[in-house]
Amino acid sequence: MQDDAQLGSPAPPERAPDPPLRRELRSWTRDLAVALGLAIVIMIFLYQPVKVEGTSMNPLLSDQERIFINKFIYRFEPIERGDVIVFWYPLDRSKSFIKRVVGLPGESVEIRAGNVFVNGRELPDQYVPSGYLDGSNYAARRLPQDEYFVMGDHRDSSNDSRVFGSVPRQFIYGKAVFAYWPVNHFGSLTSTSTVSAASR
């Protein structure tokens, strides 16, 4: 009696398992590629490197310093007094400026001999060393809704709201959050302490 069962193809020889070191390297390479991909996405869509030009934010920021700004933070939280913001220059939207928020929408801002008063009360200038103050005056003015009064920390060398007026909310596109160059300034930029952002 003829056996009509057919023999299957011979099974391929089993592949020798990768050495542990090769598996480890492959895992590290994959993880590194994922991390780099995420970093690129974050850099493109969340943070933006900018170069500071000018000295009006001394001593916090110096001329030619490199920082990161967060472009989306103000979609989730309000702009606060003391924030260092980047915005389109109201008189020429082809330029970007970086300043500190001093007055909020609806507040009255006045400057007497270099001292800032908000709603009639003197604003402590913990950001401004005494040698950086000036003796300027600015008549009391109430800010419109959705507009902010901004000033440089180096008051006697700053082109700010005393000159060009308050900044509309829609002109503000980022908050300074981190300095990365030069290395001696490396670190977070908090309220207390590449498009070119001019600070002149």
Enzyme catalytic residues: 56, 99
Dihedrals phi, psi of 110, to nearest 5 degrees: -140, 145
Q: Residue 62's closest CA among 49, 73, 53, 71?
A: 53
- Check if the beta carbon of residue 108 is closer than 8 Å to that of residue 101: no
What is the chain's length?
Answer: 200
- What's 77-145 look like in SS3? CCCCCCCEEEEECCCCCCCEEEEEEEECCCCEEEEECCEEEECCEECCCCCCCHHHCCCCCEEEEECCC
Q: Residue 95's closest CA among 25, 198, 200, 166?
A: 198
**Which DSSP category does 18 fall into?**
P
Q: Residue 68's closest CA among 44, 92, 90?
A: 44
Separation CA 168–CA 1 (nearest Å): 97
